[in-house]
Amino acid sequence: MNKNRKAFRLAACCAAAAVTLAITPSAVYADMPVAGAPAMMSIALEEKVKGAFTTAAAGISMNLADCVSSAVQEAAGKKSEYADIAIAQVDNYVNVRDSAGEEGNVVGKLYNNSAATVEAAEGDWYKITSGNVTGYVKSEFVVCGNEDLARQVSRRVATVDTETLFVRTEPTTESDVLGMVPDKEELTVTDESVNGWTKVAVEEGEGYVSNDYVNKSVEFVTAESKEEEEARLAKEEAERQAAAEAAEKASASKSEGKSKSSSGSSKKTSSPSGSGGSAVANYACQFVGNPYVYGGTSLTNGADCSGFVMSVYAAFGVGLPHSSSAMRGVGYGVSDMQPGDIICYSGHVGIYIGNNTIVHASTPEGGIKYTSPANYRQIIAIRRIF
Model confidence pLDDT, tens digit, residues 366-376: 999 999 999 99
User: Does 232 map to a domain?
Assistant: no
In this predicted structure, what is the pLDDT of residue 236? 77
Same domain, 210 and 328: no
Same domain, 249 and 309: yes
User: Does 344 map to a domain?
Assistant: yes
The CA-CA-CA angle for residues 333, 345, 379, to 5°, reads 60
The SS3 of residue 131 is: coil
322 is catalytic: no
pLDDT(95) > 90: yes
Q: What is the CATH number of the domain that holds 208?
A: 2.30.30.40
Same domain, 122 and 34: no
In the predicted model, what is the mean pLDDT of the chain? 81
Task: List strand residue ranges (DSSP E) for 260-365, in order.
Answer: 297-298, 302-303, 332-333, 342-345, 348-354, 357-361
User: Do residues 119 and 127 lie in contact, with contact meaning Cβ atoms separated by under 8 Å?
Assistant: yes
In terms of residue numbers, what domain contains 361?
Answer: 242-384
Q: Look at residues 24, 54, 76 and tell me which one is the last residue of a structural domain.
A: 76
User: Does 226 map to a domain?
Assistant: no
**With 0-12 CB in 10 A as exposed, 13-18 as middle and 19+ as buried, what is 94?**
buried
Amino acid at 174: E
The number of folded domains in the chain is 4
In this predicted structure, what is the pLDDT of residue 269? 64
Same domain, 270 and 377: yes
Same domain, 117 and 213: no
Same domain, 341 and 359: yes
In this predicted structure, what is the pLDDT of residue 246? 66
User: Does 234 map to a domain?
Assistant: no
Please give the Cα distance from 183 to 50 (Å, whole number). Answer: 46
User: Does 194 map to a domain?
Assistant: yes
**Confidence band (pLDDT; 50, 70, 90) for 83?**
confident
Same domain, 290 and 375: yes
Amino acid at 69: S
Please give the Cα distance from 217 to 54 (Å, whole number). Answer: 36
Q: Look at residues 32, 52, 76 and tell me which one is the last residue of a structural domain.
A: 76
349 CB-near residues (< 8 Å, 6+ apart): 305, 306, 309, 324, 327, 342, 343, 360
Same domain, 173 and 117: no
**Confidence band (pLDDT; 50, 70, 90) for 36?**
very low
User: Does 231 map to a domain?
Assistant: no
Q: Look at residues 51, 76, 101 and tell me which one is the last residue of a structural domain.
A: 76
User: 313-351, pLDDT tens digit by residue?
Assistant: 999 889 999 999 999 989 888 889 999 999 999 999 999
Same domain, 142 and 250: no
Would the pTM count as exceeding 0.85? no
Same domain, 140 and 265: no
Q: Which residue has the higher pLDDT, 63 or 356?
A: 356
Q: Which residue has the higher pLDDT, 140 or 79?
A: 140
Q: Which residue has the higher pLDDT, 69 or 97?
A: 97
Q: Average of pLDDT values for 220-239?
A: 88
Same domain, 246 and 330: yes
360 is catalytic: yes
In this predicted structure, what is the pLDDT of residue 32? 36
pLDDT(378) > 60: yes
* Phi, psi of 73, deg, nearest 5: -60, -40
Q: Best-predicted range by mean pLDDT among 2-16, 59-73, 266-280, 354-368?
A: 354-368
Q: Which of 14, 67, 344, 360 is catalytic?
A: 360
Same domain, 8 and 68: yes
The SS3 of residue 55 is: helix
pLDDT(62) > 90: no
Q: Which of 13, 67, 305, 344 is catalytic?
A: 305
**Confidence band (pLDDT; 50, 70, 90) for 235?**
confident
User: Does 266 map to a domain?
Assistant: yes
Please give the Cα distance from 29 to 67 (Å, whole number). Answer: 16
Q: What is the CATH number of the domain that holds 274?
A: 3.90.1720.10
